[in-house]
């Protein structure tokens, strides 16, 4: 199971807001151009981020602004805001394993706790990164490329 691309699109959005905040209004059309996707997709993600209390969005050409400091928004906050995984589970278990088969009958008992532990480890790692990490990394990359 893959984490939805909405997660990396949201991180891209936050990076654009940070990089361009002093130069221009960051609108859904501008973001769509940077991300190379449809503005409707951007607006849907912006709505999710707004509903999570991470950004404000001014109607029209008002642009996007952060509601919290970069250091206070973790990757996990973004992951949660956009519903990066279906039904909150990273791993989607195949439906109805055959109860007549010894493997099918026991596969959940064998894997459920392990898969949950893997998801918890990943989510804890997401909590260790903030948007400030993106700010610092982008600053270094832009300096290298100038």
| pLDDT value for 91 | 86
Q: Which CATH number fits domain 6-138: 3.40.190.10, 1.10.10.10, 3.40.50.970, 3.20.20.70?
A: 1.10.10.10
What is the full per-residue pLDDT of the chain (146 aa) written as tens digits? Answer: 568 899 999 999 999 999 999 999 899 999 999 999 999 999 999 999 999 999 999 876 678 999 999 999 999 999 999 988 877 888 888 888 999 999 999 999 999 999 999 999 999 999 999 999 999 999 999 999 87
> Residue 61: what pLDDT?
66
d(CA 17, CA 68): 13
Residues 6+ apart with CB under 8 A from 90: 1, 3, 115, 118, 119, 122
64 Rama sector, left if φ>0, alpha if ψ -120 to 50, beta otherwise: beta
For residue 76, the model assigns a pLDDT of 97
Inter-residue contact 13 to 35 (CB < 8 Å): yes
Eight-class DSSP state of 145: T
Q: Look at the pTM and tell me if it is higher than 0.75.
A: yes
Domain definitions of the chain by residue range? 6-138
Which pLDDT score is estimated for 2? 65
Predicted pLDDT of residue 90: 86
**Structure token pair of residue 8:** 């990396």
What pLDDT score does 3 carry? 81
């Amino acid at each position: 199971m893959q984490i939805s691309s909405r997660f990396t699109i949201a991180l891209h959005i936050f990076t654009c807001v940070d990089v361009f905040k002093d130069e221009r209004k960051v609108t859904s059309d501008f973001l769509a151009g940077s991300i190379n996707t449809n503005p409707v997709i951007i607006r849907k993600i912006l709505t999710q981020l707004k509903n999570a209390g991470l950004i404000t969005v001014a109607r029209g050409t008002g642009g996007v602004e952060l509601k919290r400091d970069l250091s206070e928004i973790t990757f996990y906050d973004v992951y949660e805001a956009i519903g990066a995984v279906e039904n909150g589970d990273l791993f989607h278990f195949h439906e109805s394993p055959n109860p007549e088969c010894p493997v099918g009958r026991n596969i959940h008992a064998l894997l459920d706790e392990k898969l949950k532990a893997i998801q918890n480890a990943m989510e804890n790692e997401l909590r260790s990164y903030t948007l400030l990490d993106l700010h610092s990394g982008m600053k270094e990359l832009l300096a290298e490329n100038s």
